[in-house]
Chains A and B, each alone.
Chain A
Amino acid sequence: GQSLEQPSEVTAVEGAIVQINCTYQTSGFYGLSWYQQHDGGAPTFLSYNALDGLEETGRFSSFLSRSDSYGYLLLQELQMKDSASYFCTPGKDSSYKLIFGSGTRLLVRP
């Protein structure tokens, strides 16, 4: 079977740091991806973690612990434009097929 858990909503202040956690159970797991989606828009790819550890891309970092079936997305120096939904998507086997959950809605306040 497969399960995926993320907080449904997170609120943070502009300029702050926020962490969005993700726990998953996926047979044949081989990597964790993160996507961002603004209201009315299409999802866009943020990052991919194949191995344990931290991957940094500008203000965004993504972490994976395969042994804990856990990952997180870290957003630094929050900006108003970061208000969006964020999806963690565990990959399964080698099918390139990603399963998206309901995501985390991030609201950045002034």
Chain B
Amino acid sequence: DAGITQSPRYKITETGRQVTLMCHQTWSHSYMFWYRQDLGHGLRLIYYSAAADITDKGEVPDGYVVSRSKTENFPLTLESATRSQTSVYFCASTEGVRAGYTFGSGTRLTVV
């Protein structure tokens, strides 16, 4: 199916563990993004990518790592999860700002 999918939808992990959130899009969009959303903070950009092997930091990159070896995949890794990283994580892709971003359904991550 065409679209952008995130996995898992829900994840509970312990402090200090490494966690990887997956994002896959089927359109071959060049641009992909990771945002986190917390109550009262709206959406904050973590990392973005302009193409395979090109990534850059957003507003809140500390504690996160990304890679993009293939155009369609953009995984986000929390190297050592902390409680402050409890959040809803959204992946998005776009072919251009005029066309708008398309967001995945999100991953609700709880760090205990």
A42: chain B residues within 8 A (beta carbon): 90, 103-106
Question: Chain A: how many interface residues by the 8 Å CB criterion?
Answer: 23
Give residues 13-64 of B contacting A (CB, 8 Å).
31, 33, 35, 40-45, 48, 50, 58-59
Task: State the CA gap A93–B98 with chains docked (Å).
Answer: 13
Interface membership of A11, Cβ < 8 A: no
Interface membership of A101, Cβ < 8 A: yes
What size tier do the contact residues of chain B reach?
20 to 34
Q: How close is B91's CB to chain A, nearest CB, in angstroms?
A: 9
* Chain A-chain B contacts (Cβ-Cβ < 8 Å), number: 59
A101-B42 contact in complex given A33-B100, A91-B97, C-beta closer than 8 Å? yes
Task: State the CA gap A97–B92 with chains docked (Å).
Answer: 11
Give residues 59-112 of B contacting A (CB, 8 Å).
59, 90, 92, 94, 96-106
Interface membership of A99, Cβ < 8 A: yes
**Contact B103–A44 (Cβ < 8 Å):** yes
Complex partner residue of A43 from B31, B58, B90, CB under 8 angstroms:
B90
Q: Given A44-B103, A46-B100, A96-B31, list of 10 further CB < 8 A pairs?
A: A41-B105, A42-B105, A43-B90, A87-B42, A98-B45, A98-B97, A98-B101, A99-B45, A102-B40, A102-B42
Which B residues lie at the A interface, using CB under 8 A? 31, 33, 35, 40-45, 48, 50, 58-59, 90, 92, 94, 96-106
